[in-house]
Structure formats: structure tokens, C-alpha cells
């Protein structure tokens, strides 16, 4: 057996049987614990490292420029506008959510297969662009403003009326808007998904401020137990939601 990148490590059948015996009896354990290791690519490993969430801190943008943030504020406000039912996407911090996602592993497509071949995919195949999400957002926002200026007398998206903005977003969704270097329909699909994620995600990721979206729909959040209410169909959940890191009104006990 050999690893990738030219690093070779021979593992015999005897080694594998010995490892299995060591896992099953204390007599076979070494006197000192060996460091955790993997065969493939020799990746370091630490317990729980990949599962520990990192809450968004601050309100500064890490990826978006001021103009790009203004574009997103305007666009998410049309996808989920504020109304009598509750706050809209802008009010709940969806722009900050998207910014931090684009500035991180998602924006760089670190866990995605991003090599060719580059053929036109179908709607059911998911993300098919050769650009990372961060690259797509940057290119799409610029291209959409160019499209708007050509269609509405030199005005960028943020200067359009809400009706005109809705028209542009509809043309993106249907693939009717022809953008330079960006598939309009593919971008809109990803942008709508990210907006929905930011609106309903745990507040630790930057959106869903004060769990307002959860309160609006009666979602309990990360509450440890709500079995008593599962069978009570048609009734509004009576308790406040709980985020992964608790609720603001909770205080730690000494």
C-alpha cells in the first residue's frame, strides 16, 4: 500500500492483524501512546477539530467591497423583503452571512471537486461552474451592474427602483439576462440558496439576527428536547428558540 504525492508506506497483512489485536486487548497496547496518523497524504488529525464551529465575530466584511455589500443588501431585500410577517434578509444580517461564507472555505470551494471536464451541466447536477463561489459572486455582481447600466440608462442595480430590481432578478432566474463571463441562471440559483441559508441558519454564522426567523416560523432551534410538542399539530411552539451557543438571556452559573 502506498500513499499519494510520492510518499510510500508498506503495510503488510501481519501489520494489519497486529493493529486489530492491539485495538482488542490491553496486553497488546504499547507502553506509550502513538501519535494519531493517517496513511493517505499523512494528514495531521486533532480530536473534534473539524466539528468545532467558529462563531462570527464583529460586523466587518472580510470579502465584500463596500459596493458589493451594497449590491447584496439591495438584492437580498428583494428576495426576502421586510413585511408584516417579520424582518427581511437585510435586517437579519444575510449580507454578513454571505460575506463570511465567501471569505472562508465555502468561498474557496475547498471541499469541492473543481477540476474539468467543463461541459454544460443540467439543473439537477448542482454547482457546475469552474469558478469558486467567491469568484462567481465577484464576477456576477460586476456583470449584473454592466447589464443594468445598458438596460436602464446607465444606472447600476442599487439605483434601480424595486420594481426594476425585481425585473432584473427575474431575468437572472430565468436565464434571460446575458452576463459577461457568468451564467446568470447558475448564479441566481446559488445566490438564492445562500440567502435562504443566511436567513434561517444558526445566528453564530452571522445571519438570522436574534433568531428572528426562527421565532417567526416557530422553530425551536437547537433546544435539547421538544418531544412533548412533536405530536401537537397545528399549535404554535410556545417556547423561545435556542441557538447552538444558547440564548442571550442565559447566564453561566459559577
pLDDT digit string, tens, across residues 224-236: 888 888 889 988 8
Cell of 81: 423583503
User: Which grid coordinates are listed for 182?
Assistant: 457568468
Q: Is the pLDDT of residue 116 over 80?
A: no
C-alpha cell at 28: 497488546
- The whole-angstrom separation of Cα 120 and Cα 146 is 24
What is 114-130 written as a DSSP string?
--S------GGG----S
Distance CA 108, CA 106 (A): 5
Closest CA to 198 of 209, 185, 182: 209
Q: What is the sign of the dihedral through the CA atoms of 115, 116, 120 and 125?
A: negative
SS (H, E, C) 153-215: CCCCHHHCCHHHHHHHHHHHHHCCCCECCECHHHHHHHHHHHHHHHHHCCHHHCCCHHHHHHH
CA distance 123 to 121: 7
Q: Which residue has the higher pLDDT, 248 or 165?
A: 165
Residue pLDDT, tens place only, 166-191: 999 999 999 999 999 999 999 999 99
Confidence of residue 201 (pLDDT cuts 50, 70, 90): very high
Instruction: Give the model's pLDDT for residue 96.
Output: 98
| Residue with the larger pLDDT of the pair 110 and 122 | 110
Amino acid at each position: 500500500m502506498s500513499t499519494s504525492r510520492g510518499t510510500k508506506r508498506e503495510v503488510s497483512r501481519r501489520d494489519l492483524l497486529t493493529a486489530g489485536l492491539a485495538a482488542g486487548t490491553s496486553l497488546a497496547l504499547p507502553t506509550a501512546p502513538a501519535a494519531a496518523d493517517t496513511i493517505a497524504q499523512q494528514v495531521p488529525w486533532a480530536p473534534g477539530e473539524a466539528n468545532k464551529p467558529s462563531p462570527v465575530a464583529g460586523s466587518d466584511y472580510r470579502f465584500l467591497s463596500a459596493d458589493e455589500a451594497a449590491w447584496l443588501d439591495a438584492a437580498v431585500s428583494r428576495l426576502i423583503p421586510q413585511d408584516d410577517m417579520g424582518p427581511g434578509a437585510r435586517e437579519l444580517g444575510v449580507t454578513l452571512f454571505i460575506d463570511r461564507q465567501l471569505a472562508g472555505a465555502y468561498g474557496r470551494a475547498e471541499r469541492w471537486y473543481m477540476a474539468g471536464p467543463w461541459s454544460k451541466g443540467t439543473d439537477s447536477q448542482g454547482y457546475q461552474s469552474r469558478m469558486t463561489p467567491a469568484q462567481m459572486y465577484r464576477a456576477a455582481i460586476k456583470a449584473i451592474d454592466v447589464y443594468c447600466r445598458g438596460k436602464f440608462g446607465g444606472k447600476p442595480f442599487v439605483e434601480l427602483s424595486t420594481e426594476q430590481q425585481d425585473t432584473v432578478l427575474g431575468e437572472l432566474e430565468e436565464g434571460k439576462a446575458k452576463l459577461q463571463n457568468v451564467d446568470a441562471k447558475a448564479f441566481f440559483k446559488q445566490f438564492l440558496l445562500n440567502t435562504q441559508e443566511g436567513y434561517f441558519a444558526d445566528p453564530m454564522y452571522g445571519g438570522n439576527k436574534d433568531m428572528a426567523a426562527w421565532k417567526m416560523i416557530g422553530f425551536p432551534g437547537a433546544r435539547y428536547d421538544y418531544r412533548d410538542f412533536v405530536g401537537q399539530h397545528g399549535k404554535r411552539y410556545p417556547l423561545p428558540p435556542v441557538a447552538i451557543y444558547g440564548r442571550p438571556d442565559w447566564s453561566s452559573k459559577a
